[in-house]
Amino acid sequence: MTHDYLDLPHAARAQGTVALPGSKSISNRVLLLSALAEGSTEISGLLDSDDTRVMLAALRQLGIPVKERGRGSARVQGTASFPVKQADIFLGNAGTAFRSMTAALALMDGDYRLSGVPRMHERPIGDLVDALNALGARVEYLGQPGYPPLSIGRGRPRAATPVRVQGNVSSQFLTALLLISPLLARAADREVVVEVVGELISKPYIEITLNLMARYGVTVAREGWQRFTVPADAIYRSPSRILVEGDASSASYILALGAIGGGPVRMSGVGVDSIQGDVAFVQTLKAMGARIDAGPDWLESRGVHVAAGERLRAFDADFNLIPDAAMTAAVLALYADGPCRLRNIGSWRVKETDRIHAMHTELAKLGARVQSGPDWLQVAPPLQWRDAHIGTYDDHRMAMCFSLAAFGPAKVRILDPGCVSKTFPTYFEVYSGLVSH
């Protein structure tokens, strides 16, 4: 989609079925794990999006044999070390790729440059760099200290114990260190301990990391959320085949359609057996009055008809564990029976855009009465809806969650709808197939 904007017709109902695209979080972890593992891995269900394309391109650039076998399928041949020792790598605005690749390259005894889009250069990475350099890596800033772009040189990383990293900015820093810990342990023939300093945010994303490491043969011992131990004999071995489950963050928009458009809306690819924390968004929908049915790999929602004046129940909730799906809840607040408050969402400030500022601004355009602070957002439904051109800030989730605003009485225009290509390139086609007017 290359249009500058998309006008969404007023929506009255939503029903139908859809197969979810693969999880971004799982896809990029699996690609890196497959590259670092002994053996060849056949990956199916792989997300086809901007974020996974830059990861695939980076692995190829580093000499990893990757063969794509049609949409959503690829074979990756693992290597003990990246064959290419000098490269200038562009990773767009893919935080999952940038943080984990920074850690992996720090162990490869090469000379690399990592860069991204301008917004990526505004997203902090200092806590990860500090942890890597404390291990003996040589990671330097090419611009503003604490932020990309980065130069990664030929350091001498050692399995110093414990490795410490701050946990209150991004869980991706801990994920990156955990992913490389088996390489450190093997090189030093000793266990590696990673300790989190302060409170760890977005814990379910660490659960994804640990689950996938186990699929590749490495079991991490965890003491609460503060201490993680990787054994001295840890080594990644390919599971031969792995299926990427559907994206639970993307599921939030589909489920929300059923919650406000009557439903039923059913999707396959993610269900009660999901390893993704964002599947917990179904609890938010239930608390707001939606009915959710579920199976091992499917979810279905039914709800109110907001176009007919029915309302969801208001909420006041802590969204620290599901910050991405929380954006969907913020837009659903437009249809609540009172003010809704989202707490503990400070991580929104350092995502693809400052999401607290962006959500405050765009919800207010529609007539919502909005207040916000460093880590919270309060949304009261509009007393009088206003037509709005919704800015998306080059943020895929802004575009997708504000599609839900079309169930209100105002005219809604989504600016730069093509930004959904980051994780869900066909979102608006899927949306149109579910919604009726």
Q: What is the mean pLDDT of residues 343-347?
A: 97
Asked whether the predicted pLDDT for residue 160 surpasses 80, the reply is: no
* The pLDDT value given to residue 2: 55
Residue 308 burial (CB count, 10 A): 9
Q: What is the pLDDT of residues 60-98, one digit of tens each?
A: 999 999 999 888 999 999 998 999 999 999 999 999 999
* The pLDDT value given to residue 69: 86
Same domain, 132 and 171: yes
Q: Which residue has the tokens 């990475």?
A: 125
Confidence band (pLDDT; 50, 70, 90) for 3? confident
In this structure, is residue 236 part of a structural domain? no
Same domain, 153 and 262: no
Asked whether the predicted pLDDT for residue 258 surpasses 90, the reply is: yes
Owning domain of residue 342: 5-21+245-436
In this structure, is residue 237 part of a structural domain? no
Same domain, 252 and 193: no
Asked if 292 and 266 touch (Cβ cutoff 8 Å), the reply is: no
Q: Which of 229, 255, 274 is the last residue of a domain?
A: 229
Bridge-based pairing state of the strands 412-415 and 13-19: unpaired
Q: Which of 175, 195, 229 is the last residue of a domain?
A: 229
* The pLDDT value given to residue 1: 44
Q: What is the mean pLDDT of the chain?
A: 96
> In the beta sheet, which residues pair with residue 196?
165
* Residue-wise burial string across 347-368, b where 16 or more C-beta atoms lie within 10 A, e elsewhere: bbebbbbbbbebbbebbbbbbb
* The pLDDT value given to residue 158: 83
CATH of the domain at 208: 3.65.10.10
Same domain, 349 and 251: yes
Alpha-carbon torsion (428, 330, 93, 38), positive or negative: negative
Q: What is the mean pLDDT of residues 22-51?
A: 97
Dist CA 286 CA 306 (whole Å)? 16
Same domain, 199 and 301: no
Beta strand segments in 4-110, E: 5-8, 13-19, 40-44, 66-68, 73-77, 86-90
Q: What is the pLDDT of residues 288-309, one digit of tens each?
A: 999 999 999 999 999 999 999 9
Q: What is the mean pLDDT of residues 164-188?
A: 95
Q: What is the pLDDT of residues 396-426, one digit of tens each?
A: 999 999 999 999 999 999 999 999 999 999 9
In this structure, is residue 318 part of a structural domain? yes
* The pLDDT value given to residue 84: 98
Same domain, 199 and 306: no
Asked if 364 and 324 touch (Cβ cutoff 8 Å), the reply is: no
Beta strand segments in 36-146, E: 40-44, 66-68, 73-77, 86-90, 111-115, 139-141
In this structure, is residue 353 part of a structural domain? yes
Torsion of CA 338, 399, 10, 313, to 10 degrees: -20
What residues are annotated to the active site?
324
Confidence band (pLDDT; 50, 70, 90) for 200? very high
Q: What is the mean pLDDT of residues 156-167?
A: 87
Listed in sequence order, the DSSP H helices in 261-417 are 281-287, 323-332, 355-365, 396-401
In this structure, is residue 367 part of a structural domain? yes
In this structure, is residue 183 part of a structural domain? yes
Asked if 151 and 142 touch (Cβ cutoff 8 Å), the reply is: yes
* The pLDDT value given to residue 400: 98
Q: Among residues of the chain, what percentage have pLDDT more than 90?
A: 96
Lowest mean pLDDT among 1-15, 20-34, 109-123, 247-261: 1-15
Same domain, 111 and 210: yes
In this structure, is residue 323 part of a structural domain? yes
Total domains present in the chain: 2
Same domain, 210 and 260: no
Residue 404's φ and ψ, nearest 5 degrees, are -70, -20
Please report which helix (H) or strand (E) contains residue 339, including its range: none
Same domain, 48 and 16: no
Dist CA 105 CA 86 (whole Å)? 10
Query: How many residues in the chain?
Result: 437
- Non-local (6+) Cβ contacts of 424 within 8 A are 21, 49, 247, 250, 396, 400, 430
End-to-end CA distance of the chain: 22
Same domain, 334 and 361: yes
Dist CA 242 CA 59 (whole Å)? 18
Asked if 267 and 275 touch (Cβ cutoff 8 Å), the reply is: no
In this structure, is residue 223 part of a structural domain? yes
